[in-house]
């Protein structure tokens, strides 16, 4: 047999060998190859078959080139059914990962051997789907509805040890995949083990209370999503039906979800995450050496950056201003690494090695003389940052990259303080830096291409999602944030409650509304930003001043127990504070504003229009290269609901003409803030979408 599935004979044992690099995806050729191999085995004298994959992994999922297309026959559920229906046993060997359809293929085999270190999972919910090739029907018959539902609603990868404990696999092996499969096949022959179809197994009893608790947990963790609870529903009902009926019901639900806007949005997010680092300007450019990273500033951000680097194999030298601050920074890093040990993410020995051999904390700037990359993470003040870069210019070795972690400030101005502006770049991490995946890579006017390439190489090393940004106040993420947050403040001034705004946006899919976020970040952050921008503020600009009042009252948010919300033992997550509405009412009165009512739909419409309009302006000005860069920034750094795909994708879904109409209607009341972006107007006039620019 030719193609990605080969058929071999080894005495009484047949081997179906999948070889479809890089991850043995279930392409049309693989599906057809499996059917052909199964049919040949059925007609052959061989008594048992081994299904094994070449390369570094078993089947790690679907063929992404087929995403969005109607798959051709044989469909995967049918190919699996052909294997399971065989009258001679088939042994599957799982190594690397068996994800999605790959795990479902394994479940369709009669026995499963798993290599230690391998993992399985059903991550379809990450694409707005449920397993569609028997996963919601076979897995519950092996492990029960609750355990199976927990696996496919969490999209987590299950370890080999847990698979054995749950009964998903029959044996663990330390041998090579082929040898592991042959050994188990010989056991099948020696012991006369029969065909054992998962679809024919009795369903373990379901703990009704545990299932109800799981449904509540899933609903709370995935607000707005439809696929998670749909998967549980299909699994639960399917176990009460004959398998064939359950499989048909699963397939129908799968195809229904394939047509939903959520699925389209999550597919867009999936591809955007992979495309965002594809930049013509660094294609073929070799990054600079990246082994020793210097970090200046040992606070929350600097410490987080240091931890991210340490956990990913980089040597770190962290600088603080004096011995006391050095000790505090070292203690903070040690505490964070201890938390990683406690969560099972890091071994205690590895933690000790990082602290002893990979980390240096000191107040001596000359310790940075050998660093390949130095990241400044000090107070957000241009004077402070220029002072730091002046010192670095004297100390850093030739070719060292000097990076600023500024959230807003002009990277060109910072670069100009040095004699090496070509070596300066912005690396805007998000807090906590060892957890948050977004990294804005801010390319200044004189940044060298290999410096940009090294920024992207760093992101890859740290397992972060990089987005290229141009220089402006706030870059991509914070510039757009300022705009839609101002839109929210204007609505509050006009009569909406900040608590209504938060509720409306949480119902839309955000984990938190803007005022709850302000309390979490600290009201002092917004206050300092407003003071910084005050000298440049246009007199026509409308803005809310109640945040300044809260700051002056010492109400800084969660850290002080009071902000927009009250945080105490009774309500640690916060409850609305009526006094805030009184403060806002006094501001309205002072400004001569007669409040009006807003519907939740109007709040969402205006908030999103402001976000999309400024996103269009950012793309039009070249600050973001493509609309997808805006989407990725908001998805990974600002909590935009993934099931909506990002603001620019969402705009395409609802129609750019509708967004423009909202902006233009609001401009009749305030033509300073609500100015339609030229790119938005152009696309509407041409009948095009943001997607056409990706």
Q: Does one domain contain both 517 and 589?
A: yes
Domain count within the chain? 3
| Residue 267: inside a domain | no
Query: For 349-378, what is the mean pLDDT?
Result: 96
Helices (H), 291-322: 300-311
Q: Does one domain contain both 507 and 407?
A: no
Say whether pLDDT at 253 is over 80: yes
Last residue of a domain, one of 469, 499, 532: 469
What is the tens place of the pLDDT at every residue in 293-345? 999 999 999 999 999 999 999 999 999 999 999 999 999 999 999 999 998 88
Q: Does one domain contain both 496 and 416?
A: no
Q: Does one domain contain both 251 and 311?
A: no
CATH code of the domain in which 303 resides: 3.40.50.720
Burial of 181 (0-12, 13-18, 19+ CB in 10 A): buried
Confidence of residue 71 (pLDDT cuts 50, 70, 90): confident
Query: For 146-162, what is the mean pLDDT?
Result: 97
Q: What is the per-residue pLDDT for 173?
A: 97
Q: What is the per-residue pLDDT for 397?
A: 97
| Residue 569: inside a domain | no
Classify strands 111-115 and 90-94 as parallel, antiparallel or unpaired.
parallel
Quick one: how far is CA 575 from the chain centroid? 29
| Residue 278: inside a domain | no
Q: Does one domain contain both 637 and 684?
A: yes
Q: Does one domain contain both 459 and 498?
A: no
Calculate what percentage of the chain has a pLDDT beyond 90.
92
| Residue 318: inside a domain | yes
Give per-residue burial for 399-437: e unless 16+ CB within 10 Å, then b. ebbbbbbbbbbbbbebbbbbebbbbbbbbbbbeebbebb
Query: For 187-212, what is the mean pLDDT?
Result: 96
Confidence of residue 198 (pLDDT cuts 50, 70, 90): very high
Say whether pLDDT at 533 is over 80: no
| Residues 114 and 172: beta-carbon distance below 8 Å | yes
Q: What is the per-residue pLDDT for 259?
A: 92
What is the tens place of the pLDDT at every residue in 492-523? 999 999 999 999 999 999 999 999 999 998 89
| Residue 277: inside a domain | no
What is the tens place of the pLDDT at every residue in 428-477? 999 899 999 999 999 999 999 999 999 999 999 999 999 999 999 999 99
CATH code of the domain in which 617 resides: 1.10.1040.50
Last residue of a domain, one of 259, 282, 301: 259
Q: Does one domain contain both 160 and 253?
A: yes
| Residue 266: inside a domain | no
CA distance 220 to 516: 18
Token pair belonging to 124: 């379809």
Q: What is the mean pLDDT of the chain?
A: 95
What is the tens place of the pLDDT at every residue in 594-618? 999 999 999 999 999 999 999 999 9
| Residues 395 and 419: beta-carbon distance below 8 Å | no
Q: Does one domain contain both 599 and 635?
A: yes
Q: What is the per-residue pLDDT for 1?
A: 55
Last residue of a domain, one of 259, 274, 302: 259
Q: Does one domain contain both 462 and 494?
A: no
| Residue 239: inside a domain | yes
CATH code of the domain in which 120 resides: 3.90.226.10
CA-based nearest residue to 4, from 14, 510, 135, 24 = 24
Query: For 346-351, what is the mean pLDDT?
Result: 93
pTM for the whole structure: 0.91
CA count, 13 A, side-chain hemisphere, 531: 12
| Residues 495 and 587: beta-carbon distance below 8 Å | no
Residues 480, 484, 487: CA angle, nearest 5 degrees? 145
Q: Does one domain contain both 449 and 516?
A: no
Who's near 189: CB < 8 A, 6+ residues apart?
12, 13, 47, 48
| Residue 483: inside a domain | no
Q: Which residues pair with 81 in a beta bridge?
A: none
Confidence of residue 532 (pLDDT cuts 50, 70, 90): confident
Q: Does one domain contain both 11 and 147?
A: yes
Q: Does one domain contain both 593 and 647?
A: yes
Calculate what percentage of the chain has a pLDDT beyond 70.
100
| Residue span of the structural domain in which 302 resides | 290-469
């Amino acid at each position: 047999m030719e193609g990605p599935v080969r058929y071999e004979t080894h005495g009484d044992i047949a081997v179906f060998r999948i070889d479809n690099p890089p991850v043995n995806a279930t392409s049309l050729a693989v599906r057809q190859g499996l059917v052909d191999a199964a049919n040949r085995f059925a007609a052959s004298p061989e008594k048992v078959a081994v299904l094994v994959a070449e390369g570094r992994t078993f089947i790690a999922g679907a063929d992404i080139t087929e995403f969005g297309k109607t798959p051709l026959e044989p469909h995967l559920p049918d190919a699996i059914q052909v294997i399971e229906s065989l009258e001679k046993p088939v042994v599957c060997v799982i190594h690397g990962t068996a994800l999605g359809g790959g795990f479902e293929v394994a479940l369709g085999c009669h026995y499963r051997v798993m290599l230690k270190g391998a993992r399985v999972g059903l991550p379809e919910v990450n694409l707005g789907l449920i397993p569609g090739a028997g996963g919601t029907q076979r897995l519950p018959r092996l492990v029960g509805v609750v355990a199976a539902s927990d696996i496919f609603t969490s999209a987590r990868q299950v370890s080999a040890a847990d698979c054995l404990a749950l009964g998903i696999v029959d044996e663990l092996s330390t041998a090579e995949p082929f040898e592991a499969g042959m050994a188990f096949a010989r056991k099948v022959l020696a012991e006369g083990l029969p065909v054992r179809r998962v679809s024919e197994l009795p369903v373990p009893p379901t703990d009704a209370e545990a299932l109800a608790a799981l449904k509540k947990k899933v609903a709370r963790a995935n607000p707005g999503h439809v696929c998670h609870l749909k998967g549980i529903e299909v699994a639960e009902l399917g176990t009460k039906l004959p398998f064939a009926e359950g499989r048909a019901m699963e397939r129908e639900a799968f195809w229904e979800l394939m047509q939903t806007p959520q699925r389209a949005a999550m597919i867009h997010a999936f591809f955007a995450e992979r495309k965002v680092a594809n930049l013509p300007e660094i294609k073929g450019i070799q990054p600079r050496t990246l082994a020793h990273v210097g970090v200046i500033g040992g606070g929350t951000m600097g410490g987080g950056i240091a931890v991210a680097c340490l956990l990913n194999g980089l040597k770190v030298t962290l600088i603080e201003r004096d011995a006391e601050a050095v000790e505090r920074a070292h203690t903070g890093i040690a505490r964070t690494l201890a938390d990683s040990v406690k969560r099972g993410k890091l071994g205690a020995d590895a933690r000790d090695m990082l602290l002893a051999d990979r980390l240096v904390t000191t107040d001596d700037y000359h310790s940075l003389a050998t660093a390949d990359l130095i990241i400044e993470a000090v107070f957000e003040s241009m004077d402070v940052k220029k002072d730091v870069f002046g010192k670095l210019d004297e100390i850093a070795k030739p070719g060292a990259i000097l990076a600023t972690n500024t959230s807003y400030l002009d990277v060109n101005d910072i670069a100009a303080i040095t004699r090496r502006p070509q070596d300066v770049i912005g690396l805007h991490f998000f807090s906590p830096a060892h957890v948050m995946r977004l990294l804005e890579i801010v390319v200044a006017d004189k940044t060298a291409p290999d410096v940009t390439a090294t920024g992207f190489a760093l992101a890859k090393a740290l397992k972060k999602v990089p987005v290229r940004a141009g220089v402006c106040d706030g870059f991509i993420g914070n510039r757009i944030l300022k705009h839609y947050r101002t839109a929210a403040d204007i609505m509050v001034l006009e009569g909406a409650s900040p608590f209504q705004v938060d509720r409306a946006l949480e119902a839309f899919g955000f984990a938190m509304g803007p005022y709850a976020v302000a309390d979490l970040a600290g009201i002092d952050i917004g206050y300092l930003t407003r003071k910084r921008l005050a000298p440049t503020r246009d007199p026509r600009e409308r803005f809310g001043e109640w945040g300044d009042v809260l700051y002056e009252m010492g109400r800084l948010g969660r850290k002080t127990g009071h902000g927009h919300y009250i945080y105490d033992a009774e309500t640690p997550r916060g409850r609305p504070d009526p006094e805030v509405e009184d403060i806002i009412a006094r501001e309205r009165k002072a400004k001569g504003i007669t409040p009006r009512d807003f519907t939740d739909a109007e709040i969402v419409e205006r908030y999103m229009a402001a976000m999309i309009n400024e996103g269009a302006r950012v793309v039009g000005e070249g600050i973001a290269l493509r609309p997808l860069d805006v989407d990725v920034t908001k998805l990974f750094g600002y909590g935009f609901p993934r099931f909506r795909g990002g603001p620019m994708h969402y705009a395409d879904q609802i129609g750019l003409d509708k967004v423009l109409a909202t902006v233009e209607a609001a401009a009749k009341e305030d033509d300073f803030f609500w100015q339609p972006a030229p790119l938005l107007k152009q696309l509407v006039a041409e009948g095009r979408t943001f997607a056409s620019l990706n």
